[in-house]
Structure 1
Amino acid sequence: MNTRTIHPIEEQSYEILRSRVDLSPMPPLWRAVAERVIHASADLEYAVDLVTDEAHLRRGLRALRAGAPVVTDVAMVAAGITGRETICSVGDPAAARMARAAGITRSAAAIRLSYAEVGRGAIWVVGCAPTALEEIIARDVDPALVIGLPVGFVGAAESKEALRKSGLPAVSNVSEKGGSAVAAAALNALLYYEGTAEEEEGNP
Protein backbone atom coordinates (compact mmCIF):
# COMPACT_ATOMS: atom_id res chain seq x y z
CA MET A 1 0.00 0.00 0.00
CA ASN A 2 1.35 3.41 -1.00
CA THR A 3 0.69 6.61 0.91
CA ARG A 4 0.83 9.45 -1.59
CA THR A 5 0.79 13.20 -1.42
CA ILE A 6 -1.96 14.19 -3.84
CA HIS A 7 -1.32 17.31 -5.89
CA PRO A 8 -4.09 19.95 -5.90
CA ILE A 9 -4.44 19.61 -9.67
CA GLU A 10 -5.20 15.91 -9.26
CA GLU A 11 -7.75 16.71 -6.55
CA GLN A 12 -9.43 19.22 -8.85
CA SER A 13 -9.40 16.76 -11.73
CA TYR A 14 -11.20 14.17 -9.62
CA GLU A 15 -13.74 16.74 -8.47
CA ILE A 16 -14.54 17.63 -12.08
CA LEU A 17 -14.65 13.97 -13.08
CA ARG A 18 -17.11 13.13 -10.28
CA SER A 19 -19.30 16.08 -11.21
CA ARG A 20 -19.64 14.70 -14.74
CA VAL A 21 -20.05 10.97 -14.15
CA ASP A 22 -21.34 9.10 -11.08
CA LEU A 23 -19.34 5.94 -10.53
CA SER A 24 -20.44 5.49 -6.91
CA PRO A 25 -22.58 2.39 -7.69
CA MET A 26 -19.44 0.52 -8.76
CA PRO A 27 -17.60 -1.79 -6.35
CA PRO A 28 -14.62 0.03 -4.74
CA LEU A 29 -11.74 -1.38 -6.77
CA TRP A 30 -13.59 -1.19 -10.09
CA ARG A 31 -14.46 2.42 -9.31
CA ALA A 32 -10.83 3.19 -8.41
CA VAL A 33 -9.62 1.75 -11.72
CA ALA A 34 -12.31 3.47 -13.78
CA GLU A 35 -11.69 6.85 -12.15
CA ARG A 36 -7.93 6.61 -12.56
CA VAL A 37 -8.28 5.66 -16.24
CA ILE A 38 -10.72 8.51 -16.86
CA HIS A 39 -8.46 10.91 -14.97
CA ALA A 40 -5.48 9.86 -17.14
CA SER A 41 -7.37 10.05 -20.44
CA ALA A 42 -10.09 12.69 -19.89
CA ASP A 43 -12.37 10.19 -21.62
CA LEU A 44 -15.65 9.65 -19.79
CA GLU A 45 -16.61 6.78 -22.09
CA TYR A 46 -14.31 4.49 -20.10
CA ALA A 47 -17.03 4.48 -17.43
CA VAL A 48 -18.98 2.06 -19.65
CA ASP A 49 -16.16 0.75 -21.87
CA LEU A 50 -14.03 -0.93 -19.18
CA VAL A 51 -14.76 -4.56 -18.36
CA THR A 52 -13.51 -6.31 -15.24
CA ASP A 53 -14.67 -8.18 -12.15
CA GLU A 54 -14.19 -7.08 -8.55
CA ALA A 55 -12.89 -10.52 -7.61
CA HIS A 56 -10.24 -10.25 -10.33
CA LEU A 57 -9.16 -6.87 -9.02
CA ARG A 58 -8.99 -8.16 -5.43
CA ARG A 59 -6.77 -10.98 -6.65
CA GLY A 60 -4.51 -8.49 -8.42
CA LEU A 61 -4.38 -6.21 -5.40
CA ARG A 62 -3.42 -9.04 -3.07
CA ALA A 63 -0.70 -10.14 -5.51
CA LEU A 64 0.71 -6.62 -5.76
CA ARG A 65 0.83 -6.25 -2.00
CA ALA A 66 2.53 -9.64 -1.74
CA GLY A 67 5.27 -8.44 -4.13
CA ALA A 68 4.23 -10.11 -7.39
CA PRO A 69 6.33 -9.03 -10.39
CA VAL A 70 4.79 -6.56 -12.84
CA VAL A 71 5.48 -7.16 -16.54
CA THR A 72 4.71 -4.62 -19.27
CA ASP A 73 4.58 -5.02 -23.02
CA VAL A 74 6.39 -1.76 -23.82
CA ALA A 75 8.61 0.78 -22.09
CA MET A 76 5.93 3.48 -22.30
CA VAL A 77 3.65 1.47 -20.02
CA ALA A 78 6.52 0.90 -17.61
CA ALA A 79 7.29 4.64 -17.62
CA GLY A 80 3.75 5.42 -16.50
CA ILE A 81 3.76 3.07 -13.51
CA THR A 82 4.82 4.78 -10.31
CA GLY A 83 6.22 3.31 -7.14
CA ARG A 84 6.90 -0.15 -8.52
CA GLU A 85 9.71 -1.73 -10.51
CA THR A 86 8.61 -3.45 -13.70
CA ILE A 87 9.95 -5.93 -16.21
CA CYS A 88 9.87 -5.18 -19.94
CA SER A 89 11.76 -7.40 -22.39
CA VAL A 90 10.76 -5.83 -25.69
CA GLY A 91 14.07 -3.98 -25.97
CA ASP A 92 16.15 -7.07 -25.21
CA PRO A 93 18.17 -8.14 -28.29
CA ALA A 94 17.12 -11.70 -27.49
CA ALA A 95 13.51 -10.72 -28.20
CA ALA A 96 14.48 -9.60 -31.70
CA ARG A 97 16.39 -12.83 -32.32
CA MET A 98 13.51 -14.97 -31.02
CA ALA A 99 11.01 -13.02 -33.12
CA ARG A 100 13.01 -13.67 -36.30
CA ALA A 101 13.56 -17.33 -35.50
CA ALA A 102 9.97 -18.07 -34.49
CA GLY A 103 8.27 -15.81 -37.04
CA ILE A 104 6.43 -13.83 -34.36
CA THR A 105 6.38 -10.19 -33.38
CA ARG A 106 8.99 -8.77 -31.04
CA SER A 107 6.21 -8.01 -28.56
CA ALA A 108 5.14 -11.64 -28.49
CA ALA A 109 8.75 -12.77 -28.14
CA ALA A 110 9.19 -10.36 -25.24
CA ILE A 111 6.26 -12.00 -23.45
CA ARG A 112 7.97 -15.38 -23.82
CA LEU A 113 11.20 -14.00 -22.42
CA SER A 114 9.45 -12.28 -19.53
CA TYR A 115 7.50 -15.40 -18.64
CA ALA A 116 10.73 -17.39 -18.54
CA GLU A 117 11.97 -14.85 -15.99
CA VAL A 118 8.91 -14.37 -13.76
CA GLY A 119 6.90 -17.59 -14.10
CA ARG A 120 3.35 -17.86 -12.86
CA GLY A 121 1.46 -15.42 -10.69
CA ALA A 122 2.71 -12.13 -12.19
CA ILE A 123 0.76 -9.01 -13.09
CA TRP A 124 0.79 -8.40 -16.87
CA VAL A 125 0.10 -4.90 -18.21
CA VAL A 126 -0.44 -4.49 -21.96
CA GLY A 127 -1.11 -1.06 -23.41
CA CYS A 128 0.25 -1.25 -26.93
CA ALA A 129 0.62 -4.59 -28.67
CA PRO A 130 -2.34 -6.91 -29.35
CA THR A 131 0.15 -9.67 -30.18
CA ALA A 132 1.56 -9.41 -26.64
CA LEU A 133 -1.92 -9.95 -25.25
CA GLU A 134 -2.51 -12.86 -27.60
CA GLU A 135 0.76 -14.44 -26.43
CA ILE A 136 -0.23 -14.08 -22.76
CA ILE A 137 -3.49 -15.89 -23.49
CA ALA A 138 -1.79 -18.63 -25.52
CA ARG A 139 1.10 -19.13 -23.09
CA ASP A 140 -1.07 -20.15 -20.10
CA VAL A 141 0.95 -17.87 -17.81
CA ASP A 142 -1.45 -18.33 -14.86
CA PRO A 143 -1.45 -14.60 -14.08
CA ALA A 144 -2.59 -12.89 -10.92
CA LEU A 145 -4.12 -10.27 -13.22
CA VAL A 146 -3.89 -9.18 -16.85
CA ILE A 147 -4.50 -5.52 -17.62
CA GLY A 148 -5.17 -5.75 -21.34
CA LEU A 149 -5.76 -2.32 -22.88
CA PRO A 150 -3.91 -2.28 -26.21
CA VAL A 151 -4.92 0.42 -28.68
CA GLY A 152 -5.39 0.36 -32.43
CA PHE A 153 -7.53 -0.50 -35.41
CA VAL A 154 -5.78 -3.80 -36.15
CA GLY A 155 -6.34 -6.56 -33.64
CA ALA A 156 -6.78 -4.49 -30.49
CA ALA A 157 -10.50 -4.98 -29.91
CA GLU A 158 -10.25 -8.60 -31.01
CA SER A 159 -7.39 -9.39 -28.63
CA LYS A 160 -9.32 -7.84 -25.75
CA GLU A 161 -12.40 -9.86 -26.61
CA ALA A 162 -10.21 -12.99 -26.62
CA LEU A 163 -8.90 -12.01 -23.19
CA ARG A 164 -12.43 -11.76 -21.81
CA LYS A 165 -13.35 -15.13 -23.33
CA SER A 166 -10.22 -16.76 -21.92
CA GLY A 167 -11.49 -16.61 -18.35
CA LEU A 168 -8.23 -15.11 -17.10
CA PRO A 169 -8.52 -12.52 -14.30
CA ALA A 170 -8.44 -9.33 -16.27
CA VAL A 171 -9.16 -5.69 -16.93
CA SER A 172 -10.01 -4.88 -20.54
CA ASN A 173 -12.22 -2.62 -22.61
CA VAL A 174 -14.57 -3.24 -25.48
CA SER A 175 -13.56 -0.58 -27.97
CA GLU A 176 -10.43 -0.10 -30.06
CA LYS A 177 -9.11 2.63 -27.79
CA GLY A 178 -6.66 2.07 -24.96
CA GLY A 179 -2.94 2.72 -24.83
CA SER A 180 0.07 2.92 -22.57
CA ALA A 181 -1.27 5.75 -20.41
CA VAL A 182 -4.55 4.07 -19.60
CA ALA A 183 -2.93 0.66 -18.99
CA ALA A 184 -0.47 2.24 -16.56
CA ALA A 185 -3.32 4.17 -14.94
CA ALA A 186 -5.26 0.97 -14.29
CA LEU A 187 -2.26 -0.57 -12.55
CA ASN A 188 -1.57 2.63 -10.62
CA ALA A 189 -5.14 2.59 -9.33
CA LEU A 190 -4.37 -0.67 -7.54
CA LEU A 191 -0.97 0.52 -6.35
CA TYR A 192 -2.53 3.67 -4.89
CA TYR A 193 -5.54 1.93 -3.38
CA GLU A 194 -5.76 2.34 0.38
CA GLY A 195 -8.90 0.35 1.11
CA THR A 196 -9.33 -1.95 4.08
CA ALA A 197 -8.66 -5.66 4.21
CA GLU A 198 -12.44 -6.18 4.36
CA GLU A 199 -12.85 -4.36 1.06
CA GLU A 200 -10.04 -6.40 -0.47
CA GLU A 201 -11.87 -9.60 0.44
CA GLY A 202 -15.19 -8.21 -0.71
CA ASN A 203 -16.76 -8.25 2.74
CA PRO A 204 -18.97 -5.47 4.07
Structure 2
Amino acid sequence: MDRVVHPIEVESYRRMRARLDTSHLPPLTRAVVERVVHSAADLEYATDLVLDEGELAKAHSALHAGAPVVVDVAMVAAGITQLRTVCRLTDAKSGPGLTRSAHAIRLAHEEVGPGALWVIGNAPTALEELLTLDACPALVIGLPVGFVGAVESKAALRESGLPAVSNVSEKGGSAVAAAALNALLYHPTSPSASPSEEKS
Protein backbone atom coordinates (compact mmCIF):
# COMPACT_ATOMS: atom_id res chain seq x y z
CA MET A 1 0.00 0.00 0.00
CA ASP A 2 1.45 3.33 -1.08
CA ARG A 3 1.38 6.04 1.53
CA VAL A 4 3.14 9.30 2.28
CA VAL A 5 5.58 8.81 5.14
CA HIS A 6 6.39 11.83 7.29
CA PRO A 7 10.09 12.69 7.65
CA ILE A 8 9.78 12.31 11.43
CA GLU A 9 8.81 8.65 10.96
CA VAL A 10 11.77 8.09 8.64
CA GLU A 11 14.12 9.61 11.20
CA SER A 12 12.50 7.64 14.00
CA TYR A 13 13.10 4.37 12.14
CA ARG A 14 16.69 5.38 11.47
CA ARG A 15 17.32 5.97 15.16
CA MET A 16 15.54 2.78 16.16
CA ARG A 17 17.61 0.71 13.73
CA ALA A 18 20.77 2.27 15.10
CA ARG A 19 19.86 0.73 18.48
CA LEU A 20 18.16 -2.47 17.32
CA ASP A 21 19.50 -4.78 14.63
CA THR A 22 16.58 -6.44 12.85
CA SER A 23 18.41 -7.16 9.60
CA HIS A 24 18.55 -10.91 10.34
CA LEU A 25 14.76 -11.23 10.57
CA PRO A 26 12.56 -12.44 7.67
CA PRO A 27 10.78 -9.58 5.87
CA LEU A 28 7.30 -9.68 7.43
CA THR A 29 8.60 -10.59 10.87
CA ARG A 30 10.96 -7.64 10.63
CA ALA A 31 8.15 -5.34 9.53
CA VAL A 32 5.93 -6.32 12.46
CA VAL A 33 8.70 -6.21 15.06
CA GLU A 34 9.92 -2.81 13.90
CA ARG A 35 6.49 -1.23 13.73
CA VAL A 36 5.51 -2.52 17.17
CA VAL A 37 8.80 -1.33 18.67
CA HIS A 38 8.37 2.00 16.90
CA SER A 39 4.78 2.43 18.15
CA ALA A 40 5.76 1.92 21.78
CA ALA A 41 9.37 3.18 21.75
CA ASP A 42 10.08 -0.08 23.56
CA LEU A 43 13.00 -2.16 22.31
CA GLU A 44 12.03 -5.08 24.55
CA TYR A 45 9.25 -6.03 22.13
CA ALA A 46 11.96 -7.39 19.84
CA THR A 47 12.41 -10.34 22.19
CA ASP A 48 8.91 -10.34 23.71
CA LEU A 49 6.94 -10.90 20.51
CA VAL A 50 6.09 -14.40 19.28
CA LEU A 51 5.35 -14.70 15.55
CA ASP A 52 5.94 -16.93 12.54
CA GLU A 53 6.96 -15.76 9.06
CA GLY A 54 4.88 -18.38 7.26
CA GLU A 55 1.75 -17.43 9.17
CA LEU A 56 2.42 -13.76 8.52
CA ALA A 57 2.80 -14.42 4.79
CA LYS A 58 -0.59 -16.14 4.62
CA ALA A 59 -2.20 -13.37 6.66
CA HIS A 60 -0.56 -10.73 4.49
CA SER A 61 -2.08 -12.35 1.39
CA ALA A 62 -5.50 -12.63 3.03
CA LEU A 63 -5.42 -9.00 4.16
CA HIS A 64 -4.52 -7.69 0.73
CA ALA A 65 -7.16 -9.94 -0.84
CA GLY A 66 -9.81 -8.16 1.22
CA ALA A 67 -10.28 -10.35 4.30
CA PRO A 68 -12.26 -8.59 7.05
CA VAL A 69 -10.41 -7.11 9.99
CA VAL A 70 -12.06 -7.28 13.41
CA VAL A 71 -10.89 -5.20 16.37
CA ASP A 72 -11.87 -5.45 20.01
CA VAL A 73 -12.07 -1.72 20.78
CA ALA A 74 -12.39 1.59 18.97
CA MET A 75 -8.87 2.60 20.00
CA VAL A 76 -7.46 -0.24 17.91
CA ALA A 77 -9.65 0.81 15.00
CA ALA A 78 -8.42 4.39 15.37
CA GLY A 79 -4.86 3.19 14.88
CA ILE A 80 -5.71 1.41 11.63
CA THR A 81 -6.45 4.49 9.57
CA GLN A 82 -6.30 3.16 6.01
CA LEU A 83 -8.73 0.28 6.35
CA ARG A 84 -12.32 -0.29 7.43
CA THR A 85 -12.56 -2.51 10.48
CA VAL A 86 -15.37 -4.27 12.32
CA CYS A 87 -15.89 -3.38 16.00
CA ARG A 88 -19.09 -4.46 17.75
CA LEU A 89 -18.34 -3.17 21.23
CA THR A 90 -21.04 -0.50 21.11
CA ASP A 91 -23.64 -3.20 20.38
CA ALA A 92 -22.45 -5.57 23.08
CA LYS A 93 -23.78 -6.13 26.58
CA SER A 94 -22.28 -7.79 29.60
CA GLY A 95 -24.00 -10.62 31.39
CA PRO A 96 -23.37 -13.43 33.87
CA GLY A 97 -19.99 -14.90 33.02
CA LEU A 98 -19.67 -12.75 29.90
CA THR A 99 -17.92 -9.40 29.65
CA ARG A 100 -19.01 -6.78 27.17
CA SER A 101 -15.74 -7.28 25.28
CA ALA A 102 -16.38 -11.00 24.99
CA HIS A 103 -19.94 -10.43 23.76
CA ALA A 104 -18.60 -8.03 21.13
CA ILE A 105 -16.35 -10.78 19.82
CA ARG A 106 -19.34 -13.12 19.53
CA LEU A 107 -21.28 -10.49 17.60
CA ALA A 108 -18.33 -9.82 15.28
CA HIS A 109 -17.91 -13.53 14.61
CA GLU A 110 -21.56 -13.78 13.61
CA GLU A 111 -21.02 -10.87 11.22
CA VAL A 112 -17.74 -11.80 9.50
CA GLY A 113 -17.57 -15.59 9.67
CA PRO A 114 -14.34 -17.49 8.97
CA GLY A 115 -11.13 -16.13 7.47
CA ALA A 116 -10.93 -12.75 9.18
CA LEU A 117 -7.94 -11.10 10.81
CA TRP A 118 -8.64 -10.43 14.50
CA VAL A 119 -6.80 -7.61 16.28
CA ILE A 120 -7.17 -7.66 20.07
CA GLY A 121 -5.21 -5.08 22.01
CA ASN A 122 -7.27 -4.32 25.05
CA ALA A 123 -9.31 -7.03 26.74
CA PRO A 124 -7.98 -10.49 27.65
CA THR A 125 -11.60 -11.67 27.86
CA ALA A 126 -12.05 -10.78 24.18
CA LEU A 127 -9.14 -13.01 23.26
CA GLU A 128 -10.39 -15.77 25.55
CA GLU A 129 -13.81 -15.64 23.90
CA LEU A 130 -12.34 -15.77 20.41
CA LEU A 131 -10.57 -19.00 21.33
CA THR A 132 -13.92 -20.63 22.12
CA LEU A 133 -15.32 -19.87 18.67
CA ASP A 134 -14.87 -21.70 15.38
CA ALA A 135 -13.44 -18.57 13.79
CA CYS A 136 -10.87 -20.18 11.44
CA PRO A 137 -8.92 -16.89 11.46
CA ALA A 138 -6.39 -15.81 8.88
CA LEU A 139 -4.47 -14.36 11.84
CA VAL A 140 -5.06 -13.41 15.46
CA ILE A 141 -3.06 -10.44 16.67
CA GLY A 142 -3.46 -11.06 20.36
CA LEU A 143 -1.73 -8.31 22.32
CA PRO A 144 -4.07 -7.46 25.21
CA VAL A 145 -2.48 -5.56 28.05
CA GLY A 146 -2.80 -5.91 31.81
CA PHE A 147 -1.89 -7.68 35.01
CA VAL A 148 -5.06 -9.82 35.11
CA GLY A 149 -5.52 -12.39 32.39
CA ALA A 150 -3.32 -10.89 29.70
CA VAL A 151 -0.38 -13.28 30.03
CA GLU A 152 -2.70 -16.26 30.40
CA SER A 153 -4.87 -15.39 27.40
CA LYS A 154 -1.84 -14.90 25.18
CA ALA A 155 -0.36 -18.21 26.32
CA ALA A 156 -3.69 -19.89 25.51
CA LEU A 157 -3.59 -18.31 22.05
CA ARG A 158 -0.15 -19.77 21.38
CA GLU A 159 -1.24 -23.17 22.70
CA SER A 160 -4.31 -23.12 20.43
CA GLY A 161 -2.22 -23.54 17.30
CA LEU A 162 -4.04 -20.70 15.55
CA PRO A 163 -1.93 -18.40 13.33
CA ALA A 164 -1.01 -15.61 15.68
CA VAL A 165 1.07 -12.66 16.75
CA SER A 166 1.38 -12.49 20.53
CA ASN A 167 3.83 -11.56 23.24
CA VAL A 168 4.94 -13.22 26.44
CA SER A 169 4.72 -10.37 28.97
CA GLU A 170 1.87 -8.31 30.41
CA LYS A 171 2.67 -5.56 27.91
CA GLY A 172 0.45 -4.84 24.94
CA GLY A 173 -2.34 -2.42 24.17
CA SER A 174 -4.31 -0.84 21.38
CA ALA A 175 -1.39 1.02 19.83
CA VAL A 176 0.88 -2.01 19.50
CA ALA A 177 -1.95 -4.25 18.25
CA ALA A 178 -2.82 -1.70 15.56
CA ALA A 179 0.87 -1.37 14.71
CA ALA A 180 1.18 -5.10 14.08
CA LEU A 181 -1.74 -5.01 11.65
CA ASN A 182 -0.42 -1.86 9.98
CA ALA A 183 2.92 -3.56 9.40
CA LEU A 184 1.15 -6.14 7.22
CA LEU A 185 -1.06 -3.50 5.61
CA TYR A 186 1.84 -1.22 4.66
CA HIS A 187 4.22 -3.97 3.56
CA PRO A 188 4.63 -4.43 -0.21
CA THR A 189 2.36 -7.07 -1.72
CA SER A 190 5.44 -9.15 -2.48
CA PRO A 191 6.26 -10.47 1.02
CA SER A 192 9.83 -11.24 -0.03
CA ALA A 193 10.55 -7.56 -0.54
CA SER A 194 12.91 -6.02 1.96
CA PRO A 195 11.53 -3.23 4.13
CA SER A 196 12.92 0.16 3.20
CA GLU A 197 13.53 3.19 5.32
CA GLU A 198 10.52 4.90 3.79
CA LYS A 199 8.00 2.05 3.70
CA SER A 200 8.56 0.28 7.00
Query: Same fold by TM (over 0.5)?
Result: yes
Question: Unpaired runs of 5+ in structure 1?
Answer: 200-204
Return the offset for 1:197: 5.5
Return the offset for 1:196: 2.0
User: Percent identity of the aligned residues?
Assistant: 66
Report if aligned partners of 2:57, 2:191 keep a CA contact under 8 Å in 1: no
Question: 1:186 — aligned with what?
Answer: 180
1:54 aligns with 2:53: yes
Alignment coverage as a number of residue pairs: 194
Return the offset for 1:140: 2.2
Which residue identity is paired with 2:7?
P
Question: 2:78 — aligned with what?
Answer: 79
CA–CA distance in 1 between the matches of 2:97 and 2:172?
A: 26
Instruction: Find the partner of 1:169 among 163, 173, 181.
Output: 163
- Runs of 4+ in structure 1 off by over 3 angstroms are none
CA–CA distance in 1 between the matches of 2:89 and 2:140?
A: 17
Question: 1:4 — aligned with what?
Answer: 3
Which residue identity is paired with 1:46?
Y
Return the offset for 1:82: 1.9
1:187-202 equivalent positions in 2, closer than 5 A:
187-194=181-188, 196=190, 198=192
| Structure with greater helix share of residues | 1
Return the offset for 1:106: 0.5
1:131 aligns with 2:134: no
CA–CA distance in 2 between the matches of 1:133 and 1:197?
A: 27
Question: Unpaired runs of 5+ in structure 2?
Answer: 194-200
CA–CA distance in 2 between the matches of 1:142 and 1:195?
A: 23
179 and 197 in structure 1: CA distance in 2 versus 1, 3 angstrom threshold: closer
Which residue identity is paired with 2:112?
V
Residues 20-71 of structure 1 deviation map (CA, whole Å, 9 limit, x = unaligned): 0101111100000000001110000000000010011011101111100000
Question: 1:68 — aligned with what?
Answer: 67
Residues 93-136 of structure 1 deviation map (CA, whole Å, 9 limit, x = unaligned): xx11xx32x53000110000000000000000000000100111
Tell me how large the CA RMSD over aligned residues is: 1.3
